[in-house]
Amino acid sequence: MPNFTITIYDADNSTLINTLNSGAVYSGSAKYSLQGSDEMTIDVDHNDTTVADIQKGRVLELNHSDQSFIRRYRVNTITKRREQGKSFYRVECLGLKHDLSSKIYRRRGQIIQQTPATHIADILSGTGWSAGTITPTANITIDYDFDTVYDALKKIEDAVQNLGNYIIMFNDGLTVDLIDPFVSSASTIEYQKNLISLTHKSNEAIYTRIIGIGGLGSDGNVMTMAGAKWRVTAVGVDFIAVDSGKLLVNGAANSEWEEGIYYIAKHDDLTQKSLITGTLINANDEAQFTLDPTPFSVGDYVVLIDNNDNPVDFIYNKLAESSTVGTIIEGKYVNNNIPDIDNLAAPESLSTLTDTYDSFGLHPGLNPVFGNVSGRPNTNSSAVFSQDTANIIHGSNSQKVVISSWNKIPTIAPTLTAVAGGQLSGTYQYKITYQTPDGESDAGPVASITVNNENIQVTFTIDSGLTHAQYWNIYRTKADGTTFYLLYRVPINSGTSFIDKVSDVDLTIPYAPDTASACGGMGVSYPILMKAGKVYSFVIYTIVESGSIRVEGRNYAPSVSLSYDLLFASKGSSSLTNAKVTIIINGLSVDSDKTIDISIVANGGPATYYVDSIMAVEAPAAPDPSQFIAVQGRRQLWEEAYDFLIMNQQKTEVNFDFYDSFAVDSTNEIKVGDIISIIDNDLGINESIKIIEKQFDIRKPWQSNIQAEFLTRNSSLVLARQLNRLQKSAESGQGGITKQVPSDANVIYFEE
């Protein structure tokens, strides 16, 4: 009699309800899979009192000592059945990981160059699950599309396969691991031991070359992979490295680029090129080319071209072509949802905000927007910058900006001198304030002078570090009065003195500075080089916690001014998840080449907000704002075409039938996670496989089947499915063949 226990827990997965009477279980099977679904089905006596505690949504734990197996499943369906005069309930359960298939990860677009731990923590946020052991640490880029949480996690698993045999593991304690679960086993499957039959078949590749086709560009033409660009990350004595591990298939295994016809060139100057002379190495999300590195520096963008300077528009597998005696089998990969755009905002640093922040908490890609000389906060301002790990839109860390006040005031009283021949008589007092784009500072020290039928020369001292202030406001009293009125507004740094001839009757605006609004116009900016004759659009992803913000184009052409017209308020919610605001600015141009500062600043007073990322494109209209293009549409198309070609390489399929004698030889047990060998000396076969799935009969555990995979995923070997004969026991010799069981962001548009 097999030794198993089924325990019933409430839907919360922690409250113990009861233990099922094992005698009430007529039959059943359990499946545990590292790649597919986990399932358990049991037929139970409908009259048993413990069966009444099995309810849909509750959790059943199977503890099977014969299989060294403990796993929890959630009850999915309960069916009342009668067969051959026997009444029973059929209870069908799914593994707890399937709970995550009913939750949506509300992200669309790329989150680039983040660690797997960062990706997984954000995916699981709010699900009740948490990250466990995450082994790989190399940064990866994932393209999300409102996937289920389960599918989003599997994308992480796929992305790290070039780093090792890592698998997303779902634990009964509602934690998720990303680990290599496979361990070498002494068990083997071989002829004259336990192997009954073996079929080993190799197939030709479905495709050896893939041409990628994407969406329409701003010129109305369909995008291809030609012109896909990569950023140089390292320059050595005889090589360069670039920031993608998805350039060529089987690059390290053959010499496809040693044919002397392919070059790496700067994307904006194809004459600056170097012939590829050695094999490509794809590793750790980077690729390395052997060549003369002289034309290149770290940070350059490069493209792949042929010896006629034509950008390469296909990706191919030279190893596959060689194995088919030079046969080229071409196919195409189509994704019309990828727009033909370049993101000009250096997003490899800006959108992730993971590099070193300065001592003031400001990301190096951004500049402060407010007054001081050195480009850093001054002691009179309460602008605070910091790195923030929460509230992600398209990166791991956001730039948090807190603008609460601007307290800079003039520190030196104006100098007053009488000038003969005027009309002013009496005692006059003067004081000065700073005028900002949104408000005004308090006044500085007061100066006074007594005159008799004279004018007054007012001289003021220039304060340094006043880029946030636009004007000096000069205030004066009437003769012998105490109330100050606005006398004159002087542009900052346009002059240091003037002659006051204004009569008292012309003074009508009393001193009433709006000091609370003075900090408006402060924030952060990002520089973008714009070329004359071209059109640009921008998507800025923000979260507004309090106050409101606006976008300004500073250093912009006076003839087409972005000015201060682009104002928008926060959604007014205390919940940051409901305060995401995406700003789209379409169709901007300049009259001459210049760098403008796209500034995201407080509007009309204090504000707290986050700048997550900026997408700047050379196009009359921005792409879909819900999809963040990290660098370039053509590059994204190339990397997706790479994945498609990997799926269609040569395939090797192995089918085998064997006896599993675990009941009499525990050293030869085959378990999920084992790495075992298939050996047939006559056929010269010695393959290592890993067991990724096992299904067994709960009452007759010797009846089961397994699913295995070759040791290296995404290699030229494909998943092999095995149909297994399992032996009840060596004493009885009985056995049989079993069948294989088979974000609701607020979007604001501006048109220029």
pLDDT tens-digit map of 80-111: 998 888 889 999 999 999 999 999 998 877 77
Distance in angstroms between the alpha carbons of the first and the last residue of the chain: 79
How many residues comprise the chain?
752
The residue behind tokens 């597998």 is 317
> pLDDT > 90: what percent of the chain?
30
Mean pLDDT of 265-275: 92
**Range scoring the smallest mean pLDDT among 23-32, 88-97, 336-345:** 336-345
**Band (539; pLDDT cuts 50, 70, 90):** confident
How far apart are alpha carbons 538 and 556 in whole angstroms? 15
**Range scoring the smallest mean pLDDT among 35-44, 386-395, 563-572, 692-701:** 563-572
Q: At what angle do helices 116-124 and 149-159 cross, to 10 degrees?
A: 180
Mean pLDDT of 311-326: 70
pLDDT, greater one: 706 or 467: 706
Beta strands 25-33 and 4-9, pairing class: unpaired
Task: Please choose, from the candidates 63, 49, 52, the residue with its C-alpha nearest in 3D space to the C-alpha of residue 3.
Answer: 63
pLDDT, greater one: 408 or 652: 408
The residue behind tokens 């900016």 is 525
> pLDDT > 70: what percent of the chain?
77
- H-state helical runs in 76-165: 116-124, 149-159
**Band (555; pLDDT cuts 50, 70, 90):** low
Question: In the predicted model, is pLDDT for residue 117 greater than 70?
Answer: yes
Backbone angles phi, psi at 66, to 5 degrees: -65, -25
How far apart are alpha carbons 121 and 98 in whole angstroms? 18
Task: Please choose, from the candidates 601, 589, 723, 701, the residue with its C-alpha nearest in 3D space to the C-alpha of residue 654.
Answer: 723
**Range scoring the smallest mean pLDDT among 283-292, 663-672, 683-692:** 663-672
Mean pLDDT of 716-737: 31
Looking at residue 628, its pLDDT comes to 79
The CA distances from residue 101 to 10, 19, 275, in Å, are 20, 28, 48
How far apart are alpha carbons 123 and 130 in whole angstroms? 9
Q: Are 37 and 95 in contact (CB under 8 A)?
A: yes
Question: In the predicted model, is pLDDT for residue 384 greater than 70?
Answer: no
For each of the domains in the chain, give its residue range(s) and CATH number, in order of start: 4-95 (2.40.10), 99-179 (3.55.50.10), 213-305 (no CATH), 415-500 (no CATH), 525-631 (2.60.120), 654-730 (no CATH)
**Range scoring the smallest mean pLDDT among 268-272, 463-467, 514-518:** 463-467
Q: Are 443 and 418 in contact (CB under 8 A)?
A: no
The CA distances from residue 123 to 115, 127, 339, 353, 632, in Å, are 13, 8, 26, 19, 24
**Range scoring the smallest mean pLDDT among 200-209, 328-337, 691-700:** 200-209
Q: Are 212 and 333 in contact (CB under 8 A)?
A: yes
Question: In the predicted model, is pLDDT for residue 709 greater than 60?
Answer: yes
**Range scoring the smallest mean pLDDT among 28-37, 62-71, 318-327, 538-547:** 318-327
**Band (601; pLDDT cuts 50, 70, 90):** confident
Q: Which residues does residue 486 pair with via DSSP β-bridges, in sequence order?
A: 475
Question: In the predicted model, is pLDDT for residue 349 greater than 80?
Answer: no
Q: Are 728 and 734 in contact (CB under 8 A)?
A: yes
**Band (356; pLDDT cuts 50, 70, 90):** low
Question: In the predicted model, is pLDDT for residue 300 greater than 80?
Answer: yes
The residue behind tokens 């922690």 is 14
The residue behind tokens 């075992």 is 676
For residue range 606-657, list pLDDT tens digits in order. 888 888 788 888 888 888 777 778 788 899 899 889 888 877 776 677 777 7
Looking at residue 408, its pLDDT comes to 79
pLDDT, greater one: 360 or 336: 336
**At 504, is the secondary structure helix, strand, or coil?**
helix
Query: What rounded mean pLDDT belongs to the chain?
Result: 78
Mean pLDDT of 725-729: 34
The Cβ of residue 337 has, within 10 Å, a number of other Cβ atoms equal to 12
Looking at residue 317, its pLDDT comes to 72
Backbone angles phi, psi at 727, to 5 degrees: -90, 130
pTM over 0.85: no
How far apart are alpha carbons 332 and 179 in whole angstroms? 34
Mean pLDDT of 49-72: 90
Q: Are 393 and 609 in contact (CB under 8 A)?
A: no
Question: In the predicted model, is pLDDT for residue 566 greater than 60?
Answer: no
For residue range 132-164, list pLDDT tens digits in order. 999 998 888 888 888 999 999 999 998 887 777
Q: Are 544 and 573 in contact (CB under 8 A)?
A: no
Looking at residue 483, its pLDDT comes to 96
**Range scoring the smallest mean pLDDT among 55-64, 246-255, 435-444, 641-650:** 246-255
Looking at residue 347, its pLDDT comes to 60
pLDDT, greater one: 729 or 529: 529
Looking at residue 728, its pLDDT comes to 31
Nearby residues of 187 by Cβ (< 8 Å), 6 or more positions away: 667, 668, 669, 670, 674, 676
Question: In the predicted model, is pLDDT for residue 493 greater than 60?
Answer: yes
Question: In the predicted model, is pLDDT for residue 503 greater than 90?
Answer: yes
Exposure class string for 609-641: b at 16+ Cβ within 10 A, else e: bbbbbbbbbebbebbebebbbbbbbbbbbbbbb
Report residue 603 as tokens: 């509007």
Mean pLDDT of 723-744: 30
